[in-house]
Structure 1
Amino acid sequence: MHYSSVIYILGLLMMFLSGSMLIPVPFSLYYGQTDYLSLLSAAGITFGVGFAAYRLSKFRDDLRPKEGFAIVAFSWIFLSFFGCLPFVFSGTIPSFTDAFFETMSGFTTTGATILTQIEGMPEGVLMWRSLTHWIGGMGIIVLSLAILPFLGVGGMQLFKAEVPGPVADKLTPRVTETAKILWGVYLVFTAAQTVLLMFGGMNLFEALCHAFGTLATGGYSTRNASVGAYGSAYIDYVIILFMLLAGTNFALHYRFLRGDFKVYFKNPEFLFYMAIIGFTALLICINNFIALDTGVEKTFRDSLFQVVSISTTTGYGTADYEQWPFASQMILFFLMFGGGCAGSTAGGMKMIRIYVLTKFVYSEIVRLLHPHAVVPVRVGKTIINRDILMNVFGFFNLYIIIFTLSVFAMSQLGLDFSSAYGAVVATMSNIGPGLGSVGPTDNFAHIPAIGKWLLSFLMMMGRLELFTVVILFSPSFWRK
């Protein structure tokens, strides 16, 4: 393990983080708040630590997968540790445990919150809270499309058989160039959504915060009642559109913007993703229309909004889905596991894994009916080999094991079964709101401190697709 290289990269990240803390300062000054002092103090400390790490270490060009795993995992820990300082210094979240939970939830684009009165918080800190989503989303795009495939894990690993190399979709041959391209797309979408939300009546501050939360599939809002507080069909539909875009592989967006207008219709994962959303939204809409008296358009809009929000793991809300019929709630619950597409900012298991599992089950049924038939598992025109299938099965099994153990652990902390189930799936799939006492109209403030640390760890595990974190617990990983 080249520890010096790991420290060097982490130092650079800390300096970048300190610069990001300055972005909310103008908003704090404009609204006449004093939280800019907390942001400046946190930025100074973060820069000092980062600069010291950068100057006292040495980078080696021959980075190995070991260093890659360590950098990826420790980046989220250090970002959350220093990123929570503005909350602590400003007194808006005085408890370090709560502040760390809120910040980890931000950087992992989970959106689970311990805050009860969001609208009473100063604008500078609120902007920083939403900005943690946006920064986390930037990292996740490059992580999923360029870094994790190089390390041999992640949803995009399933495409390596089709296009070998460190960058699965071969946008450009270099990770840095790929990062610039993807961040460019991310920035364009953020600017577009901000403008469209301002047309709907939001001011610049609110529009930016909600655009940050949408494109990162995070879900932090500036209102206690989330997006539903605006009561605007226009705003709802704008956010639905951009949640769908955020849950889609960003490599597809890049190709579309370059003129390949059929790229979405040629991608099996995207078609599967849209089919799942369309089918489940229709089922819930019909069920809600029969059971509730909210009108045709409102029922359709709320049903579609919540399905897209849960499927893309954004977590915004326009309705309390725990007041919906049981069947509608169960459909949403199962959607919580799937997530968005590989290469997107969405969390969850990823649609590509669900798609491969579905294709495998189909092939096994055909083989039972026709024992001598050769029925390969395909993604598009590519045959998925045994190693990739084992990777998918391994991820699925590990997910279930960690999920089950975590539900048991949370239930031992006094949560009822529904709340324990909801808290674990909400954090592990990076959704935000869950079920029971952590449902869409509740928060995580009442969770015991040890539970918040466990859920923070689950957020990171889910965000980094399990194996990236689990491998750090192997003694052989740390041996030279």
Structure 2
Amino acid sequence: MLDILGLMLVLLGSLMLIPGIVAAIYKEPAGVMAFGLSSFITISAGLIIRRIGEKGEVTNKEAFVIVALAWLLATIFGSLPFIFLGLDETDSLFETMSGFTTTGATILTESDSHGYWIINSTAADNSLAHNLILTLFKSPEVLLSGIGKISTSDSGFNNYVESTFYGLLFWRAFTQLLGGMSIILLFIAILPHLGVAGRQLYYVDTSREALTPRVRSTAKIFWGIYLGFVALQTILLWSAGMSLYDSLCTSFTTISTAGFSPLSAGIVAYDSVLIEAILIIFMIVGATNFILHYQFIYKNDFLCYFKDPEFRLYLFLQATATALIVLWGGVDGGVLHRIRLAGFHVVSVGTTTGFTNTFDYAHWSSAANMVIIMLMLIGGCAGATAGGIKVLRVLLIKKYARRELMKMLHPKAVIPIKLNDISVSEGVLISVLFFTIIYLIIFFACSLLLTITESGNQNFDLLSAISAVATCMASVGPGLGVVALDFSQVTPVGKMIAIFCMYIGRMEILPVMLLFIPNLWKD
């Protein structure tokens, strides 16, 4: 078990060199220092853990522990670049957990003259990476040529200015790309191979064919599809007018249904119908079951999407929510303008991506707010990168409720519940109901807890608390009220609650709960 966790850290540390290279390209010496140091620490920790651990076949119990701990370790070590560049520990953990869980909630509030997110200049000037640069390099010639924005005197570095954070913003988006890939590995490749636990508790689709008998082969297939979509979207966005950097970062966070944008204004900054249309398509792609993509690409089943009851219900929910907000959401402007704003926002929330093409949604009607919160909780499709309860579970609950009503009329009737003409077992139905009930209990409990911890914050009302928990548990990102744009006004304790909600929501609750069951630790 430790061997696998150590290997994960070695890989994570190696990947940290990529944003370090980006920082070098954009002449950010503190960024190069931060990622170099983070990479060294992470790889070293991984090698030590691998040396301590013993190699061997992983049991089902160990697999659950690995799944639960991997995200925590990735968040802790992935937060190092943020810490080294000036963010405090709580904010760094929040931003990193938001990345790896593909949530997209942020605590950043400042931007440069070009609209890109930056860290507060005072915090950046006092950061470890900044001070190491000043301490280690006594003359500008020592530093690699072309890296850094530095004004010097005869005594060496007299005034060091770091005005951009392109490397850090790339890492911020990259964590969401990695998070999406990890979700695919977890919920399509690993958990279904754990027998009853994986099949019934997490991947509740009983109708689709098994793909390959090996986890590695399955992961390669879906990662190929995933990265192919990323490449295609990058090309389309670049062609539509985005810079290559923006296209890459935005594509990383679209297919992963994550929502981080390198620009503080988000998609509003581009003000492009074409870009919004491309994003809508790929947000839906990311929130759609990847097995359908597999069937479309590898099996040439061009009608697979519309034959799938979950996908049909998903589109129906999106269309209905859009119509409700257009008609009663309090959106200003003409009909076409309302359709543009409402349609984009509904897809963004309904896919749990979290992009915004307007800041006015925070002032929409109470009816619109209710629709948005319901979309957050439902989320996207099973077998996708989206969060939430999942449309498939909603579909099965609807079928179960209908069956129970019919049995009240015909007590002796045997009424099977079918999905794609295949009967769904009672075990699957029970696990779906169990998950949904536990999910809602945790949602209400965390909402109450957040309301209590933020009681001293006069601006933090009930809507803010409920939407904050919903957006974090469902991996959406932006909320309503105080957290409509960011979580900067939330207290450190409130941020830790939000971090917990992101984590347990992304893990779909049960792997984390299993850690506290004594039988898991018995031989």
Q: Shorter-chain TM-score category?
A: over 0.9
Are 1:70 and 2:92 matched, yes or no?
Answer: no
Deviations for 1:171-197, whole angstroms, at most 9, x for unmatched residues? 211100001010000110000111111
Corresponding residue to 1:81 among 69, 76, 79: 76
C-alpha deviation, 1:155, in angstroms: 6.4
Corresponding residue to 1:39 among 35, 38, 60: 35
Stretch deviating more after TM superposition (291-300 or 215-224): 291-300
Partners of 1:243 and 1:312 within 8 A in 2: yes
Q: Hey, what does 1:158 align to over in structure 2?
A: 204
The letter for the 2-side match of 1:399 is Y
Aligned equivalents of 2:408, 2:326: Cα separation in 1:
37
Q: Hey, what does 1:240 align to over in structure 2?
A: 280
SS at match of 1:60: coil
Q: Hey, what does 1:315 align to over in structure 2?
A: 354
Q: Hey, what does 1:166 align to over in structure 2?
A: none
Deviations for 1:140-160, whole angstroms, at most 9, x for unmatched residues? 011111222234147653224
C-alpha deviation, 1:476, in angstroms: 2.6
Q: Hey, what does 2:186 align to over in structure 1?
A: 143
Corresponding residue to 2:110 among 114, 117, 120: 117
The letter for the 1-side match of 2:510 is F
Q: Hey, what does 2:312 align to over in structure 1?
A: 271
Q: Hey, what does 2:101 align to over in structure 1?
A: 108
Paired residue total: 462
Deviations for 1:1-45, whole angstroms, at most 9, x for unmatched residues? xxxxx2101111101101211112232122221212111110111
Identity %: 40
Partners of 1:155 and 1:353 within 8 A in 2: no
C-alpha deviation, 1:405, in angstroms: 1.2
Corresponding residue to 2:510 among 453, 467, 480: 467
Partners of 1:103 and 1:132 within 8 A in 2: yes
SS at match of 1:285: helix
Q: Hey, what does 1:294 align to over in structure 2?
A: 333
C-alpha deviation, 1:373, in angstroms: 3.3
Are 1:368 and 2:363 matched, yes or no?
Answer: no
Partners of 2:203 and 2:382 within 8 A in 1: no
Corresponding residue to 1:21 among 7, 10, 16: 16
SS at match of 1:412: helix
Q: Indicate the structure (1 or 2) with the bigger Cα radius of gyration.
A: 2
The letter for the 1-side match of 2:388 is G
Partners of 2:369 and 2:480 within 8 A in 1: no
Partners of 1:155 and 1:343 within 8 A in 2: no
The letter for the 1-side match of 2:64 is F
Deviations for 1:101-134, whole angstroms, at most 9, x for unmatched residues? 1100100001111111252421000000000000
Aligned equivalents of 1:101, 1:292: Cα separation in 2:
32
Are 1:450 and 2:443 matched, yes or no?
Answer: no
Q: Hey, what does 1:404 align to over in structure 2?
A: 444
Cα–Cα, structure 1 residues 66 and 429, in superposed 2: closer, same or farther, change >3 Å? same
Partners of 1:107 and 1:136 within 8 A in 2: yes
Q: Hey, what does 1:344 align to over in structure 2?
A: 384
Stretch deviating more after TM superposition (417-426 or 237-246): 417-426
Stretch deviating more after TM superposition (462-471 or 150-159): 150-159
Q: What RMSD in Å do the two structures reach over aligned CA positions?
A: 1.5
Partners of 2:257 and 2:353 within 8 A in 1: yes
SS at match of 1:446: coil
Partners of 1:155 and 1:350 within 8 A in 2: no
Q: Hey, what does 1:60 align to over in structure 2?
A: 56
C-alpha deviation, 1:201, in angstroms: 1.2
The letter for the 2-side match of 1:22 is L
Q: Hey, what does 1:3 align to over in structure 2?
A: none
Q: Hey, what does 1:51 align to over in structure 2?
A: 47
Q: Hey, what does 2:478 align to over in structure 1?
A: 433
Unmatched tracts of structure 1, length 5 or more: 1-5, 164-168
Partners of 1:155 and 1:342 within 8 A in 2: no
Instruction: Name segments (4+ residues, structure 1) moved above 6 Å.
Output: none
Q: Hey, what does 2:239 align to over in structure 1?
A: 199
Cα–Cα, structure 1 residues 331 and 155, in superposed 2: closer, same or farther, change >3 Å? farther
Aligned equivalents of 2:490, 2:201: Cα separation in 1:
31
Corresponding residue to 2:251 among 211, 225, 250: 211
C-alpha deviation, 1:374, in angstroms: 2.8
Deviations for 1:199-236, whole angstroms, at most 9, x for unmatched residues? 12111111111101101111101111211121111111
Aligned equivalents of 1:315, 1:113: Cα separation in 2:
11
C-alpha deviation, 1:372, in angstroms: 4.0
Q: Hey, what does 1:422 align to over in structure 2?
A: 467
The letter for the 1-side match of 2:321 is T
Aligned equivalents of 1:398, 1:356: Cα separation in 2:
16
The letter for the 2-side match of 1:424 is V
The letter for the 2-side match of 1:157 is Y
Partners of 1:145 and 1:156 within 8 A in 2: no
Aligned equivalents of 2:108, 2:516: Cα separation in 1:
32
Aligned equivalents of 1:293, 1:251: Cα separation in 2:
39
C-alpha deviation, 1:352, in angstroms: 0.6
Partners of 2:34 and 2:85 within 8 A in 1: yes
Stretch deviating more after TM superposition (314-323 or 96-105): 314-323
Aligned equivalents of 1:241, 1:433: Cα separation in 2:
20
